[in-house]
């Protein structure tokens, strides 16, 4: 088992550079939005963080599928770590979204919005993953149960993503349509920089967390061998 | 500073704060892992000194820095 973490170092450096550049551009370079003015700048952190949460949950489901497909135990830890990251980015999505809702709509939360409620359902579903995981004894049974649960949750991602497009009478804006991104080129560029930075951040956190969990697991094995 | 500017700044600061909180929690976890590694290394050294063959293979060097 390799415990070197060069990928984590590279991703953390990339994330720091991209996020610093992206946030600077978002605050000092892109023009104000015609409708929302300055407050639209939350878009450059809220949407990348939300998409990264989806990516983490999707990555966790992919690793869960690999576990069920191949039976290799290492995928269990990778799936668990990805879900862990997804929940962290999910919290950030909910908090930044609430702040944006407060400025734009005058409320912190709207239960009438399917997009918001479905994201909350997705977040709570994956939060319950930890309860399931820690209510079962470690071993193949827990690995399979966690994998199946992580796979089920991924179904909610396209539902959550498409909900706003299927909904009627919504107030949550739709920026990415079939005709492409509905924003100026400069705004889309800054969005891409921030999204790349957020993905790199998630990758760095994932690599470090996975390394920590692997070291932890190795130490437990050593303890058991010593006992 | 306008109300919109305050809210936007708050949103970015929340993200920063959560990432920093994560780093702090992770630092505690690393410190715990380091303590456990040191304890196991000390036990292995004591057994070597006592002439007892180690029951576990020495672990690969662990590099946990970011």
Positive or negative: CA dihedral B43, B45, B49, B51 = positive
Q: Above pLDDT 90, what percent of chain A?
A: 45
Q: Give the CA count within 13 Å in the CB-facing half-sphere of A76.
A: 16
Chain A residue with CA closest to B47: the answer is A226
| Parent domain of B27 | 23-49
Q: Can you tell me the distance from the alpha carbon of A83 to that of A75, in angstroms, rounded to the nearest whole number?
A: 12
Kindly state the DSSP code that residue A124 receives in the 8-state scheme: H
Contact between A3 and B61 using a beta-carbon 8 Å cutoff: yes
- Which of B55 and A68 is assigned the larger pLDDT? A68
Instruction: Report how far residue A83's alpha carbon sits from residue A67's, in angstroms, rounded to the nearest whole number.
Output: 14
- Cα separation, A54 vs A90, whole angstroms: 8
Q: Do B62 and A23 touch (CB under 8 A)?
A: no
Q: How far apart are CA A171 and CA A160, in angstroms?
A: 15
Q: Which of A103, A201, A206, A217 to mutate to test the interface with B (most CBs of B within 10 A)?
A: A103
Q: What is the pLDDT of residue B66?
A: 45
A32 DSSP assignment: P
Q: Within an 8 Å CB–CB cutoff, is residue B56 touching chain A?
A: yes
In a domain, B1, yes or no: no
Please answer yes or no on whether A3 and B2 come within 8 Å at the CB atom.
Answer: no
Task: Provide the percentage of residues in chain B whose pLDDT is more than 70.
Answer: 77
Tokens standing for B24?
A: 């702090």
C-beta atoms of A5 and B63 within 8 A: yes
Other Cβ atoms closer than 10 A to A190: 24
The helix (H) or strand (E) run that includes residue A176 is strand A176-177
**Residue A24's pLDDT band (cuts 50, 70, 90):** very high
More confident residue, A215 or A2: A215
Q: Is residue B37 part of a domain?
A: yes
Say if B35 falls within a structural domain: yes
The model's pLDDT over B26-46, given as tens digits with 9 standing for 90+, comes to: 888 888 988 988 888 888 888
d(CA A96, CA A126): 19
Residue pLDDT, tens place only, A137-168: 888 899 999 999 999 888 888 877 776 666 65
- pLDDT over threshold 80, residue A220: yes
- The pLDDT tens digits for A47-65 are 999 999 999 999 999 999 9
Query: For the CA atoms of chain A, what is the radius of gyration?
Result: 19
A&B contacts, CB < 8 Å: 89
Q: CA A94, CA A130: separation in Å to the nearest integer?
A: 19
**DSSP calls for chain B:** --HHHHHHHHHHHHHHHHHHHHHHHHHHHHHHHHHHHHHHHHHHHHHHHTTPPPSSPPPPPP----
A19 in Cβ contact with A194 (< 8 Å):
yes
For range A98-103, the mean pLDDT: 88
Inside any domain, residue B4:
no
Integer Cα distance of A137 and A147 in angstroms: 15
Q: Name which of A42, A88, A205 is nearest B8 (Cβ-Cβ).
A: A42
Best to test chain A binding among B1, B6, B12, B59 (most A CBs inside 10 Å): B12
Domain total in chain B: 1
Task: Classify residue B5: in a domain, yes or no.
Answer: no
Task: Round to whole Å and give the CA distance between B15 and B57.
Answer: 42
Nearest to B8 among A39, A212, A215 (CB): A39
Cβ <8 Å between B66 and A102: no
Mean pLDDT score across all residues of chain A? 86
Within-domain flag for B42: yes
| pLDDT for residue A18 | 94
**Ranges of H-type helices in A43-184:** 43-70, 74-104, 114-134, 140-154, 156-166
């Amino acid at each position: 088992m390799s415990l070197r973490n060069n990928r984590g170092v590279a991703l953390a450096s990339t994330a720091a550079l991209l996020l610093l550049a992206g946030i600077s551009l978002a605050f000092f370079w892109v023009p104000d939005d015609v409708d929302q003015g300055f407050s639209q700048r939350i878009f450059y952190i809220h949407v990348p963080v939300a998409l990264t949460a989806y990516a983490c949950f999707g990555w966790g489901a992919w690793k869960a599928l690999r576990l069920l497909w191949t039976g290799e135990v290492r995928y269990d830890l990778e799936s668990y770590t990805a879900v862990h990251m997804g929940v962290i980015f999910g919290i950030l999505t909910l908090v930044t979204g609430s702040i944006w809702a407060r400025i734009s709509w005058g409320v912190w939360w709207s239960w009438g919005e399917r997009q918001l409620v479905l994201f909350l359902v997705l977040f709570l579903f994956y939060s319950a993953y930890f309860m399931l995981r820690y209510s079962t004894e470690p071993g193949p049974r827990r690995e399979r149960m966690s994998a199946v649960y992580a796979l089920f949750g991924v179904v909610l991602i396209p539902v959550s993503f498409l909900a706003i497009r299927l909904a009627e009478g919504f107030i949550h804006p739709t920026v990415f349509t079939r005709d492409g991104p509905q924003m100026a080129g400069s705004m889309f560029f800054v969005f891409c920089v921030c999204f790349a930075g957020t993905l790199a951040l998630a990758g760095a956190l994932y690599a470090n967390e996975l390394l920590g969990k692997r070291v932890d697991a190795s130490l437990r094995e050593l303890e058991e061998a010593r006992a | 500073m306008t109300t919109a500017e305050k809210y936007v700044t708050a949103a970015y600061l929340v993200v920063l704060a959560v990432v920093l909180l994560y780093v702090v929690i992770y630092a505690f976890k690393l410190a715990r892992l380091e303590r456990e590694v040191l304890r196991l290394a000390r036990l292995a050294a004591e057994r070597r000194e006592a002439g007892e063959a180690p029951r576990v293979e020495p672990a690969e060097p662990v590099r946990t820095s970011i």
